[in-house]
Structure 1
Amino acid sequence: MERPLSVHGGSLVRPPPRGTPLKPESVIGSLVPPSRHEEVRSKMSTLMTRSHAGRQTA
């Protein structure tokens, strides 16, 4: 538990500018080509639904 940031992939994901809410969409926008946004978004929403036991993230 020395480096809790590693859980979030601290070095892989750059923090957004101040005032920007951290949403899956913003991560997708910065890491994924536009042509694959829909594919990745559907995968992420599936993962979110599984890991959060029915908690919906629009």
Structure 2
Amino acid sequence: MERRSGSWKANRDTEEAVVVTPPAELLDYARRAMTHLGADIPGLTGFPESVRDRLAARLTAQLA
């Protein structure tokens, strides 16, 4: 994500945010690492599997 802010702090007063497309090599590496580690979506550990699956599908669609 690319951000523009009036503050020198990264997460304060964001005026504009643009989702950028990461390089294919980085996406591939991240997906392979996630699969290898059995990684989960951070912060969703207590939610039912069906909710996590739907969220993952939604996020994947947004990235496509």
The TM-score with structure 1 as length reference comes to 0.35
More strand by share: 2
Say which one has the larger Rg. 2
TM (normalized to structure 2)? 0.33
Report which of the two has the higher share of helix: 1
